[in-house]
Amino acid sequence: MSFLKRKKNRKRAPLSGEMELQITSMADIFTILLVFLLKSFSTGAVNITPGAGMILAQAQAAEAPVEALKVEVSEATVAVEGTPAAPLQHFEFNPGDLESQGNSKALSLVLERERKRQVLISQNNPDVKLDARIVIIADERVPYQTLKVVLASAALQGFTDFKLAVIQKE
Partner 1 sequence: MRAGESQDFELNLASIIDCFTVLIAFMLATASFLSIGVLDAGMAAAGAEAKSQAEPPPVQLVLTLRKDHSVLLELSGRESRKEEIPALGQSTDLESLGARLKATQGRWSALQSATLQAENQVPYRDVIQAMDVTRKTLPAVLLGGF
Among the listed ranges 11-19, 51-59, 82-90, 106-114, the one in contact with partner 1 (CB under 8 A) is 51-59
Among 63, 95, 96, 125, binds partner 1 (CB under 8 A): 63
Core vs surface per residue 158-169: b (16+ CB within 10 A) or e: bbeebbebbeee
The HSE-up count of residue 42 (CA atoms within 13 Å, CB side) is: 6
3-state SS assignment for residue 61: coil
Binding mask 82-121 for partner 1 (x = CB under 8 A): --------------------x-------------------
CB of 144 within 8 A of CB of 117? no
| Residue 160 interacts with partner 1 (CB under 8 A): yes or no | yes
| Residue 24 interacts with partner 1 (CB under 8 A): yes or no | yes
Give the number of other Cβ atoms within 10 Å of residue 138's Cβ. Answer: 23
Q: Which residues bind partner 1 (CB under 8 A)?
A: 23-24, 26-27, 30-31, 33-34, 37-38, 40-42, 48-50, 56-66, 102, 135, 138-145, 147-149, 151-152, 155, 160-168
